[in-house]
A and B are shown apart, each in its own frame.
Chain A
Amino acid sequence: MADSVNPAVTSSSTTAPSQAPSQPPAENSPSQTLPIRDSKTANPPAQSDKASSKPKDAPAALVTGGDGASDKPLTPAQLKAKAKAEKAARRVKEKADREGGAGAAGGSAPGASGQPRPPNTPKKDAAGGGASQKGVKGAPPRRGSGPVAQTGAAAAEPKKKKEDKSVAVFSHLYGQQRRTTVNGAAKEVHPAVLALGLQLRDYVVCGSSARCVATLLAFKRVIESYTTPLGTSLARHLTTHLGHQISYLSTCRPLAVSQGNAIRALKLAISRVDPSTPESTAKASLCDMIDNFIREKITVADQVIAGSAVEKIENGDVIVTFAGSNIVKQTLLQAHKEGKRFRVSIIDSRPLFEGKSLARTLANAGLDVQYSLVHAISHAIKDATKVFLGAHGMTSNGRLYSRVGTALVAMSAKERAGGVEVPVIVCCETVKFSDRVALDSIVVNEIADADELIPVNSPQQVTGLPDPAAFTAPPVEPKKGGKAASAASTQESTDSTRVPSPSPLAKWKDTPNLQLLNIMYDVTPAEYVDMVITEMGSLPPSAVPIVHRMSTNP
């Protein structure tokens, strides 16, 4: 849904300007090369204040250490010895950290947090990870805080308590506890991937295409710094090497459809590498393949899609869109540039508020924008003439898998009472097509941390305008968290400092018979979709499997 690939930032050498302030410039962080979610640009003040805070900087610090090591080819024996030494050093360091209590010290030492630590040391997790994360993050609630706090709670409460809090129908989706730190990652995982994993988890890199591009760019770095071990061939070993990276990424956040397709294409390209090609040539060709993939399947595809979607916009249209899709944004901006006069009505939803950045961008560009939340859908749809939607994926039965709430918008448009039905247009790159079939949004979905649902914004904040309260509050808060980092700042204490009158949901974990569900996606039936605009032309949803088949094996 919220594709925020900045088309300019698709080559590895480009630096996303929005990310720059949050990173110490000297560090060669991989995250700088990644497309960054637009909405996050609002937060840097908060982030830059805490340059030494843990989750952001730990991977960055790791990069410098890791890159140095991987640059020179070492013999396996040397590597082993080195790893052992590092491990010992880390263990000592970590002990010091634990004694110190504050997470702030941890990140500053290179390689300090890459160490596999026993998973159930809840006290330290809560103190270090929880405090610093809460501090770093600005107004929007983040997934990071949840599991940590949960672990903290789990220390005191019996484990059964946690089980109770999963919604029964979706219990199969809770299976994977999300990774909160880079701790415990396999040693094969490349620092760029380590960093990306955390960015994915924190929604810093968010949106199906953005995640796909970021993953590919990280994998390019993996390939660049890869040397085939003796006794194996590149085609065989690189696939397993990538496998480690992929499994790490999927523990941070379940892989998107587009990520899966990109990985599949990459693996296919690797397996096609002729064993007799020299390693450097093979690596160069794989990097070329990645660049081409990004260009063809996403950058150029987006331009083509925007181009043909613009043709469907006419003067006097009222375009309804849901949340913040990058391709829809591109379309609307282009239509505006071409001089079409239309109005945009953005429907947004909690807790991610992806539409805010879209609304801001469109309004800045001079478009007429109306912003409302999803409960006002019937009002917003009343004078709509077209609905444009982004996609997370399209399934083989033509259904649209997208940010939760999309189905509601599509249905309202199609079933609008007493009027001409409003065409629902989906803009989707073919890389998001999947061969899976979805009948409902229960079997396959993603569950985010329920704590995100607890309101952290003051209820007065209504529109997408930069709310002064939302942006002044965080800088105050992190300072508190940073100074008093040694104090075990649990979920309750942070909440009480942030919200003047604590939300009735704040203690939902301790409230019996209460479960919160923060589902990420839903499935829109094919009947509600009139048209899917792809880079291969405009299709009815029923043509998705054909195009998918053609684009995967040409």
Chain B
Amino acid sequence: MATTTEGTAQAGVKPFDIVATYNELLRSDPDLTMPIAAIEALVLLLTHEPSSTISETLDLLEKSTAHLKKAIPNPIGLSAGTDLFQRYLITTLQRPGQLGPAGDFKAIRTHLLSNGRLFIRRAKESREKIVAFGRGFIRDGCTVLTNGGSRAVASLLQKAADEEGGPSAVRFNVIYVLSSISKNIEEPSGEPEGMETVRALRAKGVPVSTIPESAVAYALGKADMVIVGAEGVVENGGIVSRMGTYQIGLLAKAIGKPFYCVAESHKFVRLYPLGQYDLPIEQHVIEFRSEEDIAEQNKQSADTSADRPIELPLCDSVDFTPPHLISALITDSGVLTPSAVSEELIKIWF
């Protein structure tokens, strides 16, 4: 996949590879979220592929979306973006007037593409809005427990730390739950996800304590609130997030601490999981194996790298935190209760 990443630049000559573009976009810009990368890839696709009719455009879009979703092991996040873009295209095309079905297709196309870019820019700005809404939650002297590598959470905490330019205008502590599984596949002993944020916060003068996942219940007594990020916010207001978030939610509920989730509204996805095992992805978190199975597997993977089969599924696995564990969602369209998510989604979709 990674070898064809020049596709973005030279798509004029060879067929456009949507998957490669998507991966490249995600790699090149660490601030990019999955749905936005998906939208950007689709906009690039439309720029490169000449299409002359509306149905051709929609067909192309649908095919590439399906292709992209199939190629990415966890398409929950990106499907939020592709759905949104498709929805946006359809509503634009259905609108009467110059840009509607009766108008000149070239004009429609240019309009769509320019607006698609605007879309991306707005989505990037949404993190700023979240910070504005979420800042009030972090008060002087409080302790925040967080986990994972969410950029939205990181920017919220950092903004709160350097508010008004001074060194830590709001004085707060952070308990950072670090996953025991490394994000980086190539070096399993590398630093866990979130270390970067920890360093940045410490640089800003925020006292940070890092704890393993097993210490969450122990540490929650000292925390005033939990703030987590999300990969996708589903229709019932629950979140799909880094493995381990669900248990933090359960513990926070049991101990009675507020549990906030920070997510951009483009992460709202039309998905309604009924539980942990109802997510539309394949993940092998629980695998029952006997000594025999392990031996067999080791034999099979002897020629390839040894650790990979175990390492790969776990580091990217997600879980589902049901809405009743979430106190509020801090999004760019305001601070929402979980039940308001469906209202927002319905507004987008109908």
Interface residues of A (CB under 8 A from B): 312, 386, 420, 423, 425, 527, 530-531, 536-540, 542-543, 546-547, 550
Tell me if A312 and B235 are in contact (CB < 8 A). Answer: no
Nearest Cβ on chain A to B264's Cβ, whole angstroms: 21
- Chain A hits for B346, CB < 8 A: 536-537, 539, 543, 546-547, 550
Tell me if A312 and B274 are in contact (CB < 8 A). Answer: yes
Tell me if B274 and A540 are in contact (CB < 8 A). Answer: no
Residues 335 to 350 of chain B near chain A (Cβ within 8 Å):
338-339, 342-343, 346, 349-350
- Chain B hits for A423, CB < 8 A: 274-275
Tell me if A546 and B342 are in contact (CB < 8 A). Answer: yes
B137 in contact (CB, < 8 A)? no
CA distance A540 to B236 in the complex (A): 5
- Chain B hits for A543, CB < 8 A: 339, 342-343, 346
Instruction: Give the interface centre of B324, B342, B349, B350 by most chain A CB atoms within 10 Å.
Output: B342
Nearest Cβ on chain A to B315's Cβ, whole angstroms: 26
- Chain B hits for A312, CB < 8 A: 274, 278
- Determine the residue in chain B with the shortest Cβ distance to A554: B350
CA distance A425 to B275 in the complex (A): 12
B149 in contact (CB, < 8 A)? no
**A531 touches which of B274, B339, B350 (Cβ 8 Å):** B274
- Chain B hits for A546, CB < 8 A: 342-343, 346
Tell me if B235 and A530 are in contact (CB < 8 A). Answer: no
Interface size class of B (residues with CB under 8 A): 10 to 19
Tell me if A542 and B272 are in contact (CB < 8 A). Answer: no
- Chain B hits for A542, CB < 8 A: 339, 342
Tell me if A531 and B343 are in contact (CB < 8 A). Answer: no
Nearest Cβ on chain B to A427's Cβ, whole angstroms: 13
- Determine the residue in chain B with the shortest Cβ distance to A539: B342
Which 4 pairs show the lowest CB-CB distances between chains A and B?
A542-B339, A543-B342, A540-B236, A423-B274
Contact code string B277-316 (vs A, CB < 8 Å = 1, else 0): 0100000000000000000000000000000000000000
B270 in contact (CB, < 8 A)? yes
Tell me if B339 and A540 are in contact (CB < 8 A). Answer: yes
CA distance A538 to B274 in the complex (A): 11
CA distance A384 to B270 in the complex (A): 27
CA distance A536 to B347 in the complex (A): 12
Tell me if A530 and B342 are in contact (CB < 8 A). Answer: no
**A537 touches which of B270, B275, B324, B338 (Cβ 8 Å):** B270
- Chain B hits for A527, CB < 8 A: 324
Further pairs besides A536-B346, A536-B350: 8, Cβ < 8 Å: A423-B274, A530-B236, A539-B236, A540-B323, A543-B342, A543-B343, A546-B343, A550-B350
Tell me if A537 and B235 are in contact (CB < 8 A). Answer: yes
B229 in contact (CB, < 8 A)? no
CA distance A543 to B350 in the complex (A): 14
Tell me if B236 and A531 are in contact (CB < 8 A). Answer: yes
Contact code string B219-257 (vs A, CB < 8 Å = 1, else 0): 000000000000000011100000000000000000000
Nearest Cβ on chain B to A530's Cβ, whole angstroms: 6
Nearest Cβ on chain A to B216's Cβ, whole angstroms: 21
- Chain A hits for B275, CB < 8 A: 420, 423
- Chain B hits for A386, CB < 8 A: 274
Nearest Cβ on chain B to A423's Cβ, whole angstroms: 4
Tell me if B350 and A538 are in contact (CB < 8 A). Answer: no
Tell me if B349 and A540 are in contact (CB < 8 A). Answer: no
Number of contacts between A and B (CB, 8 Å)?
Answer: 44
- Chain B hits for A425, CB < 8 A: 274
- Chain B hits for A538, CB < 8 A: 235, 272
CA distance A454 to B136 in the complex (A): 63
Contact code string B258-273 (vs A, CB < 8 Å = 1, else 0): 0000000000001010
Tell me if A540 and B350 are in contact (CB < 8 A). Answer: no
- Chain A hits for B324, CB < 8 A: 527
Q: List 22 A-B contacts (CB under 8 A).
A: A312-B278, A386-B274, A420-B275, A423-B275, A530-B274, A531-B236, A531-B272, A531-B274, A536-B350, A537-B346, A537-B349, A539-B235, A539-B236, A540-B236, A540-B237, A540-B338, A542-B339, A543-B339, A543-B343, A543-B346, A546-B342, A547-B346
- Chain A hits for B343, CB < 8 A: 543, 546
- Determine the residue in chain A with the shortest Cβ distance to B280: A311
- Determine the residue in chain A with the shortest Cβ distance to B277: A314
- Chain A hits for B272, CB < 8 A: 531, 538
- Chain B hits for A530, CB < 8 A: 236, 274
Nearest Cβ on chain B to A414's Cβ, whole angstroms: 11
- Chain B hits for A540, CB < 8 A: 235-237, 323, 338-339, 342
Nearest Cβ on chain B to A397's Cβ, whole angstroms: 11
- Determine the residue in chain A with the shortest Cβ distance to B349: A537
- Chain A hits for B323, CB < 8 A: 540
Nearest Cβ on chain B to A424's Cβ, whole angstroms: 9
Nearest Cβ on chain A to B155's Cβ, whole angstroms: 29
CA distance A538 to B235 in the complex (A): 8
CA distance A539 to B236 in the complex (A): 7
- Chain A hits for B270, CB < 8 A: 537
- Chain A hits for B349, CB < 8 A: 537
CA distance A542 to B344 in the complex (A): 12
CA distance A538 to B278 in the complex (A): 14
Nearest Cβ on chain A to B341's Cβ, whole angstroms: 8
- Chain A hits for B235, CB < 8 A: 537-540
Nearest Cβ on chain A to B235's Cβ, whole angstroms: 6
CA distance A527 to B338 in the complex (A): 13
Nearest Cβ on chain B to A484's Cβ, whole angstroms: 58
CA distance A536 to B270 in the complex (A): 12
CA distance A236 to B342 in the complex (A): 39
CA distance A530 to B339 in the complex (A): 12
Nearest Cβ on chain B to A384's Cβ, whole angstroms: 13
Instruction: Give the interface centre of A312, A531, A536, A539 by most chain B CB atoms within 10 Å.
Output: A539
- Determine the residue in chain B with the shortest Cβ distance to A547: B346
- Determine the residue in chain A with the shortest Cβ distance to B238: A540
Nearest Cβ on chain A to B69's Cβ, whole angstroms: 16
Instruction: Give the interface centre of B235, B272, B324, B350 by most chain A CB atoms within 10 Å.
Output: B272
- Determine the residue in chain A with the shortest Cβ distance to B270: A537
- Chain A hits for B278, CB < 8 A: 312
- Determine the residue in chain B with the shortest Cβ distance to A550: B350
Nearest Cβ on chain B to A135's Cβ, whole angstroms: 49
CA distance A540 to B349 in the complex (A): 16
- Determine the residue in chain B with the shortest Cβ distance to A420: B275
Nearest Cβ on chain A to B345's Cβ, whole angstroms: 8
- Determine the residue in chain B with the shortest Cβ distance to A546: B343
CA distance A254 to B278 in the complex (A): 40
Nearest Cβ on chain A to B108's Cβ, whole angstroms: 26
- Determine the residue in chain B with the shortest Cβ distance to A386: B274
CA distance A532 to B213 in the complex (A): 35
- Determine the residue in chain A with the shortest Cβ distance to B342: A543
CA distance A225 to B292 in the complex (A): 79
CA distance A536 to B349 in the complex (A): 10
CA distance A200 to B237 in the complex (A): 40
- Determine the residue in chain A with the shortest Cβ distance to B276: A420
CA distance A540 to B272 in the complex (A): 9
- Chain A hits for B338, CB < 8 A: 540
